[in-house]
Amino acid sequence: MTEPDHRVHGLADDDVAPDWPPLDASELDALLGLYPGLAPRGAIRWHSPRPLSAACLVDTPHGTLFVKRHHSTVRSAAVLAEEHAYMDRLRAAGVPVPRVLADRAGRTAPTLGEWTYEVHERAEGIDLYRHAASWTPLRDLGQARSAGAMLARVHAAAEGYAAPQRGTHLLVARSELIEAADPPAALEAQLPHRPGLAEYLARRDWRAELAAVFAPFHAAVQPQLARQPRLWTHGDWHVSNLCWSGSGSDARITAVLDFGLAARTFALFDLATAIERNAVAWLALDAGDRAVHADTAQALVAGYRGQRPLDARDVRLLADLLPLAHVDFALSEVEYFSAVTGSPANADVAYHTFLRGHAAWFATPPGRALQQAIRDLA
């Protein structure tokens, strides 16, 4: 199951060999044979460059479908079922989310050997940002406003959805540490259930380092979080997870993709994540102020507020959340690289560059300026 020329996005915006082998013809034949009407398989059209799973577009008698494969240590059928139920809820409320197909046994996440699979209907529209890395800034302000408005629609559709929290911390954008009165103590309580992360952290003074991440920012947000209604959220709102009707500023969003990081958090956490994902060139911070796109951040908020009101306190809290929105997910990446793929170098990047470095950047003049650009909207 090898394709020597297949490369994926690395942590430094480079092309690297994949952690997971690409989907091949014989594997797809076995999988699609489990579904009514999907065999015989046609051509494999494209392999995804995303690094945390393997995915492709493949022709079938039902049309071209999107197939995604996870290792069972990363996503079990039960954990994927949590995502699929949330997607069903959003689709029923009118959000354009592609449908996940069920096999003959009624499973939306069948397993074959050590792998767990999903088969999605192909998203409608144009995948404008297919090749964009996760932290590539969005520069079209019209599209930024549309992305903000669609995120508000997602949150409105999720209101009243009372499913419990995700059954995993691994590669999920949760917010428990942000919400905790004592984040290091909250993480320590999790570690018996997260042995891979515990093993990595045991080699360092993580309590002091995590306290330093939170110290400049946590006191401003923690007292306000109790009034935030808990909500299932997307967790990875970047334009590469959206499809569009065209390439212009007036293009509408035709599909919302990739709910792999979704979890029960709160709306402002998801909006802060969207700003972090779309408004900062994290891989080009040496450009100084030019790495920050405050106008993109403001357009996201403007689009959101056009659909879902935010008062002045909300906007100020949104600004204060920006340095911390990545913390829980960065630790989940440390856990993934350390315990699943056995990549200590990548685990160190996730810990030092993503977890500690992103928070520290918000104490620099460009980081403070981005926060102030959001506060100005209050």
Which domains occur in the chain, in start order? Answer: 8-121 (3.30.200.20), 141-375 (3.90.1200.10)
Q: Which residues contact 40 (CB under 8 A, 6 or more apart)?
A: 29, 61
> At 298, is the secondary structure helix, strand, or coil?
helix
Task: Count CB neighbours of 289 within 10 A.
Answer: 10
Contact in structure between 209 and 334 (CB atoms under 8 Å): no
- Across 348-364, average pLDDT: 95
pTM for the complete prediction?
Answer: 0.94
Report the chain's C-alpha Rg in angstroms: 20
Contact in structure between 119 and 31 (CB atoms under 8 Å): yes
pLDDT tens for residues 312-336?
Answer: 999 999 999 999 999 999 999 999 9
> At 58, is the secondary structure helix, strand, or coil?
strand
Sign of CA dihedral 28, 34, 36, 39: positive
Q: Please give the Cα distance from 305 to 294 (Å, whole number).
A: 16
pLDDT of residue 4 exceeding 50:
no
DSSP 163: P
Contact in structure between 300 and 140 (CB atoms under 8 Å): no
pLDDT tens for residues 251-284?
Answer: 999 999 999 999 999 999 999 999 999 999 998 8
Residue 238 tokens read as 């970047």
